[in-house]
């Protein structure tokens, strides 16, 4: 890793300075092929601990809850539960409480996203960190993380899964069961339904769509 990249990652995740990342990276070996945690506890530190260093406790709990929901929906539809779990687990790994923290990373490595509203930076930073810190190479997982907050047109199946699961996570504290049911029935229709609910919420509360990815997403999926 070049020095500049290392400095920027430490700027975004100061806790990682005290961490030997090689000790953590076990290739998600705590998960079986369907994405369930193996019963035998490993002596090794794993990616869960690494994520715990990077995000707040609350964010960590949300991440594991989204991961479990992604896995459940994926397995119902015969998709890869392990992949879904990892995507859900890492979707918010770029999220930071402090405003402006992600800007240097976006400026240096993803200047094409600089004009996006700051709340969306964490999805781009998240995909970047998933690759650089967690060594994720799977494009489905990276796409799911990179667009989980804005959505996008022509979303892949795992991107639809993570976008929806993030919005309907039971830990969010509102009744989202009807949307979970919709996702369990049909991912494509369920995703469009969650998008519609999201747009309705924005309209009702007087928010405008503030970025081109969401705008294109709503048009592409014919959200009214
Ligand atoms: Fe997020
Ligand atoms: Fe989230």
CATH code for the domain of 182: 1.10.3210.10
Question: Which structural domain, as residue segments, surrounds residue 63?
Answer: 3-220
- Gap between the Cα atoms of 196 and 214, Å rounded: 12
Q: What is the pLDDT of residue 96?
A: 86
pTM for this prediction: 0.96
C-alpha 213 to ligand 2 mean position (Å): 17
* Number of structural domains in the chain: 1
C-alpha 142 to ligand 1 mean position (Å): 13
Mean pLDDT, range 118-146, rounded to an integer:
97
Kindly tell me if the per-residue pLDDT of 210 is higher than 70: yes
Secondary structure of residue 37 in the 3-state scheme? strand
Percent of the chain with pLDDT over 90: 85
User: How many CB atoms sit inside 10 A of residue 2's CB?
Assistant: 7
Q: What is the pLDDT of residues 142-199, one digit of tens each?
A: 999 999 999 999 999 999 999 999 999 999 988 999 999 999 999 999 999 999 999 9
C-alpha 22 to ligand 2 mean position (Å): 26
Residue 153 corresponds to which tokens in the numbers above? 């047109």
Query: Residue 129: CB partners within 8 Å, gap ≥ 6?
Result: 9, 12, 13, 54, 93, 94
């Amino acid at each position: 890793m070049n020095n500049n990249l290392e400095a920027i990652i430490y700027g975004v995740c100061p806790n990682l300075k005290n961490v030997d990342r090689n000790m953590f990276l076990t290739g998600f070996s705590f998960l079986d092929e369907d994405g369930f945690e193996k019963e035998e506890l490993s002596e090794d530190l794993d990616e869960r601990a690494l994520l715990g260093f990077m995000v707040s406790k609350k964010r960590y709990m949300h991440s594991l809850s989204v991961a479990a929901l992604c896995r459940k929906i994926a397995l119902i539809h015969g998709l890869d539960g392990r992949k879904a779990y990892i995507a859900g687990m890492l979707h918010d790994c770029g999220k930071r409480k402090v405003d402006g923290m992600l800007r240097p990373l976006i400026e240096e490595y993803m200047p094409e996203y600089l004009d996006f509203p700051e709340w969306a930076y964490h999805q781009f930073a998240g995909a970047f960190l998933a690759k650089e810190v967690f060594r994720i190479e799977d494009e489905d997982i990276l796409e799911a993380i990179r667009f989980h907050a804005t959505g996008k047109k022509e979303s892949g199946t795992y991107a639809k899964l993570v976008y929806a699961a993030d919005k309907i996570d039971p830990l969010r504290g509102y009744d989202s069961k009807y949307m979970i049911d919709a996702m369990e029935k049909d991912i494509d229709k369920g995703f469009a339904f969650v998008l519609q609910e999201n747009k309705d919420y924005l309209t009702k509360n007087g928010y405008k769509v503030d970025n081109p990815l969401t705008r294109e997403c709503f048009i592409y999926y014919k959200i009214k």
